[in-house]
Structure 1
Amino acid sequence: MDIIYEIRRRHLVQKQTISAIAREMGISRPTVRRHLKTVEEPRYARVQPVSPKLGQFEAQLTQWLELEAKLPRPRRRSAHRLYEGLQELGYGGAYDSVQRFVKRWKASHHGPKLTEAFIPLEFARGDACQFDWSHEQVELAGVLQTIKVAHFRLAYSRQMFVVAYPRETQEMVLEAHNRAFAFFGGVPARLIYDNLKTVVDAIFTGKERKFNRRFLCLANHYLFEPVACTPASGWEKGQVENQVGNVREWLFTPLARFASFAELNDWLAQRCRELAQRLHPTQSERTIAACFADEQPLLRPVTATFDGYVEDMMRVSSTCLVRVDRNRYSVPASAAGQAVSVRRTADHVHVVADGELIAAHPRRYGRDQLICDPWHYLPVLEKKPGALRNGAPFIAWELPKPIQLVRDRILKQPKGDRAFVELLMLAGEAGLDALTVACELALECGIISAPVVMNELRRLIAPHLPAAAIAVPDGIALTMEPLANCQRYDYLLGSTNVH
């Protein structure tokens, strides 16, 4: 613009000719004539740069974009992941070429994306941690399923922690906090949430909230302040909102495959440590791990882990079962018809009566499953031995092989049901290992019956008497000890050949 101004000033004010201006300024006369007609600031249309190295890979990239446009948004790959895919096919160009192509393709198919304005936030060390859930797809034990992932992010250092669960119920929330605080090695002063139902029971005007009572027990145990965001204001915990998208790209695209939740969560924790080696987004000269090392000493130490169960009062059915999350779990027969406390965690179901633990089961997910402990039904089996053959707890009971062989033989004998139940009742006191050994001994001798097995079992569990010397008074001591003489038996039988 300064050249245009100088040309117009010389010609219009100083009355110089076009030839003189061109000669003195070292430009051509057509350029002078063109600038004399310019009044507004010139605007140049940006020419999109060509990507010669994309070339043959452009068709593949277009195909990927068209296919992934039909997928749910969480399963679409970002431009960087598409770039990595092209590299595996031999692409040697720059990432910028792929990024520009993807941007143009999305703009032509979905329209330009509007940018929303936000306010930058800053947090002190040890002050805040943000929490959120996301839904991801993984393959566990060969089955494709949607899982729930709990996200934690320390707002100062950007250190993250993620853990996966089958659902996002309250016991999962409590257990996720225990894992996160153990991973961080401490507790921040505040935790920021959106208004999820497992945390907030009611939303009032402004920032006032009614938090869930069980969740407040967690906050009281670890002494952190829960903060709920304004509804529909995700920017108040924007770091963890952004983390959800990044984790989906980094960890769950392409599809993650593991044998169980335990293996998946071990891998997620390891990846969180590895990703902490990246540069901090605002302190570009330091890594996230270095910033976390500064923040970690300011976290409140964890003195004891919170017992993160959710409790419900239930009545035990006549079949000695309680229902938890559409599955049924057994309890001892002595509790049938009684009210008990059922405490569920992310991994276990515990049944408590009169302050004592009476049953514990690993928690199952799915529907309409029956989880039984056969020992719970032994008192009932003693009165109803016929239920041994068709009782659901005993059909699926995986007994050791020797016990199975003995059971099959005894059940074919008269009154075999009751006889084998008596063995089980005795094994309830002695243990299944002792019964296994007794059955092995019976199989070795070749005589398989309930009395033989019971005799072997009682010999195994009989207490061993101490080998102590018997004190004999001096007055009754023998002067001549008797000698063993087997011929005395022949004498008693009437034999005359006694020498």
Structure 2
Amino acid sequence: MELYKKVRLACAEGMSARAAAKHFNISRGTVEKMLAFSVPPGYRRDKPIRRPKLDGFTEFIDAWLEADKAVHRKQRHTAKRIWERLQAEHGFTGGYTIVKDYVRERERRTREMFVPLAHPPGHAQADFGEAVVVIAGVEQKAHFFVIDLPHSDAYFVRAYPAATAEAWIDGHVRAFAFFGGVPQSVLYDNDRCLVSKIQPDGTRIRATLFSGLQSHYLFRDRYGRPGKGNDKGAVEGMVGYARRNHMVPIPHFASWDAFNADLEGQCCARLTRILRGHKETIGERLQRDLAAMRPLPTAPFDACDQASGRVSSQSLVRYDTNDYSVPVAYGHQDVWIRGYVDEVVIGCRGEVIARHPRCYDREDMIFDPVHYLPLIERKINALDQAAPLAEWDLPEEFQTLRRLMEARMLKMGRREYVQVLRLLETFGMDDLHAAVKKALKLGAVGFDAVKHLVLCQVEKRPPRLDLDVYPYLPRANVETTRAASYMALMSEAAE
């Protein structure tokens, strides 16, 4: 630039172009260019690049790259592979560099362009992301739901064991409660949990559960083009932000509830931040979103999948490939099922008969041992082989009680032990455990004694198992058995 200035000044003061070229030791063509432009214009190509060795082969390259659009991206042609095929199949004698430059230039010409978007307040975008977490000491994949308000950049994150339809619905319910309002519309991709089918004309058939959510909260749904995540770029960016900022390093939590409580706390803390290009905090801009959003309905939507089933001969009900137990009294009856993200509720007519933690494995059996105790009491020989009791981790005192009962009453002792376990149908494990420990301490090994003790435990009153507290009752005098007494009975019977 310094030389540029000196040449222009010299010529402006009367020096000819020939003299300037000789004085500054440059060509006259360079002097003419310096006089034509006030600043260096840079290199300008006035003719397209010619590649005489490649010109006859570009149609093959174009055809291969067009065909690649229908192939998985990891099996598409690279420039090196194109060069090798041209040599092997078409006798190409040119170098690799001209092929690489042509492929790069072609990709630039065909690369998609985007329109800058404005985001009015009151609208949202939603999506799911994935990350590795450790819950209760087990490393597993977390599917985290993200809903973003692009106008204010406020967002909500919640993690689930699986991205099921119930997780989608539960995420919406909790996000709307977190924001304190319902967006006018939410933009999605075409997830099968939301859209059961896309018609040839582009209209979408919504999933039943998602339609119920829309009817309850009265918001509109919008969808991006299939396979085009950039149509909802705001939430795509927030999914990556949540993964980088909330899940690095790998989170370790005792439960999903603890993990989600931490995520919600971080979402609240972010509302105080001022992002680049803004003068207001996210929370202040959120107020404009809330002003354009609908108020929450009086009651939240029940985020569950509803199904029906029939109890099998083994007192099991199948839901989502897994079998859940119910009390044996409901065998072979029709039941209704509600699948939540964290539990499965089973009922018969208007009564809830079973609750189980939701299992996300496949073809598993989830038992509640108490459900089978009435049947085991009748079929006592199945006690040691009953699958529902196989992994039942009872306190050590229960095994001691069983051993003493069986030593005193043999088979009837086993039945009384099951009767003791059946007290769990009415009382909690802590109260029954305390009663069993007291029964062992008092030497009152029997169902009636344990039942009396657990009632006293619940009612907070002292037990009445010692005859010293009943002075009005006569004491029984039990003598030692003698053979002479037995012979006297025999002689009386003979007379």
Normalising by structure 1, report the TM-score: 0.68
Matching residue within 215, 218, 223 for 1:223: 218
Superposition deviation, residue 180 in structure 1:
0.9
Q: Structure 1 residues 17, 430: CA separation in 2 closer, same or farther (over 3 Å shift)? A: closer
Matches within 5 A, 1:338-417: 338-413=333-408, 414-415=410-411, 416-417=413-414
Structure 2: stretches of 5+ with no match in the other structure: 44-102, 462-471, 473-495
| More displaced 10-residue stretch of structure 1: 335-344 or 443-452 | 443-452
- Which residue of structure 2 aligns with residue 294 of structure 1? 288
Matching residue within 156, 159, 163 for 2:158: 163
- Which residue of structure 1 aligns with residue 487 of structure 2? none
The alignment of Structure 1 onto Structure 2 pairs a total of residues equal to 397
Matches within 5 A, 1:447-462: 447-450=444-447, 452-453=449-450
**Is the 8 Å Cα contact of residues 197 and 205 (structure 2) preserved in structure 1?**
yes
Residues 454-490 of structure 1: CA deviation (Å, up to 9, x unaligned): 56567778999xxxxxxxxxxxxxxxxxxx9xxxxxx
Matches within 5 A, 1:39-118: 42-43=40-41, 116-118=112-114
Superposition deviation, residue 290 in structure 1:
2.0
Distance in 2, Cα, partners of 1:2 & 1:459:
102
**What letter corresponds to residue 262 of structure 1 in structure 2?**
D
Matching residue within 90, 115, 118 for 1:119: 115
Q: Structure 1 residues 4, 252: CA separation in 2 closer, same or farther (over 3 Å shift)? A: same
- Which residue of structure 2 aligns with residue 440 of structure 1? 437
Q: Structure 1 residues 336, 132: CA separation in 2 closer, same or farther (over 3 Å shift)? A: same
**What letter corresponds to residue 224 of structure 2 in structure 1?**
C
**Is the 8 Å Cα contact of residues 410 and 450 (structure 1) preserved in structure 2?**
no
**Is the 8 Å Cα contact of residues 126 and 186 (structure 2) preserved in structure 1?**
yes
**What letter corresponds to residue 448 of structure 1 in structure 2?**
V
| More displaced 10-residue stretch of structure 1: 229-238 or 424-433 | 424-433
Residues 107-146 of structure 1: CA deviation (Å, up to 9, x unaligned): xxx98995642112223222x1001112222333444332
Distance in 2, Cα, partners of 1:462 & 1:148:
46
Matching residue within 412, 417, 420 for 1:420: 417
**What letter corresponds to residue 175 of structure 1 in structure 2?**
D
Distance in 2, Cα, partners of 1:154 & 1:251:
19
**Is the 8 Å Cα contact of residues 382 and 421 (structure 1) preserved in structure 2?**
yes
- Which residue of structure 2 aligns with residue 481 of structure 1? none
Q: Structure 1 residues 410, 28: CA separation in 2 closer, same or farther (over 3 Å shift)? A: farther
Q: Secondary structure at the match of 1:306?
A: coil
Superposition deviation, residue 204 in structure 1:
2.6
Superposition deviation, residue 433 in structure 1:
5.4
- Which residue of structure 1 aligns with residue 468 of structure 2? none
Distance in 2, Cα, partners of 1:458 & 1:31:
110
Normalising by structure 2, report the TM-score: 0.69
- Which residue of structure 2 aligns with residue 89 of structure 1? none
Residues 328-376 of structure 1: CA deviation (Å, up to 9, x unaligned): 3211112212221221110010002113211111213334543222221
- Which residue of structure 2 aligns with residue 478 of structure 1? none
Percent identity for Structure 1 against Structure 2: 34
**Is the 8 Å Cα contact of residues 132 and 193 (structure 1) preserved in structure 2?**
yes
**What letter corresponds to residue 128 of structure 2 in structure 1?**
W
**Is the 8 Å Cα contact of residues 155 and 267 (structure 2) preserved in structure 1?**
yes
Superposition deviation, residue 173 in structure 1:
0.6
**Is the 8 Å Cα contact of residues 327 and 369 (structure 1) preserved in structure 2?**
yes
Q: Structure 1 residues 28, 150: CA separation in 2 closer, same or farther (over 3 Å shift)? A: farther
Q: Structure 1 residues 377, 229: CA separation in 2 closer, same or farther (over 3 Å shift)? A: same
- Which residue of structure 2 aligns with residue 244 of structure 1? 239
Q: Structure 1 residues 355, 429: CA separation in 2 closer, same or farther (over 3 Å shift)? A: closer
Q: Secondary structure at the match of 1:389?
A: coil
Q: Structure 1 residues 30, 456: CA separation in 2 closer, same or farther (over 3 Å shift)? A: closer
**Is the 8 Å Cα contact of residues 162 and 272 (structure 1) preserved in structure 2?**
yes
- Which residue of structure 2 aligns with residue 329 of structure 1? 324
Structure 1: stretches of 5+ with no match in the other structure: 46-109, 465-483, 485-499
Matches within 5 A, 1:233-312: 233-280=228-275, 283-302=277-296, 303-312=298-307
Over the residues paired in the alignment, what is the CA RMSD in angstroms? Answer: 3.9
- Which residue of structure 2 aligns with residue 133 of structure 1? 128
- Which residue of structure 1 aligns with residue 173 of structure 2? 178
Q: Structure 1 residues 322, 206: CA separation in 2 closer, same or farther (over 3 Å shift)? A: same
Superposition deviation, residue 406 in structure 1:
1.4
**What letter corresponds to residue 290 of structure 2 in structure 1?**
Q
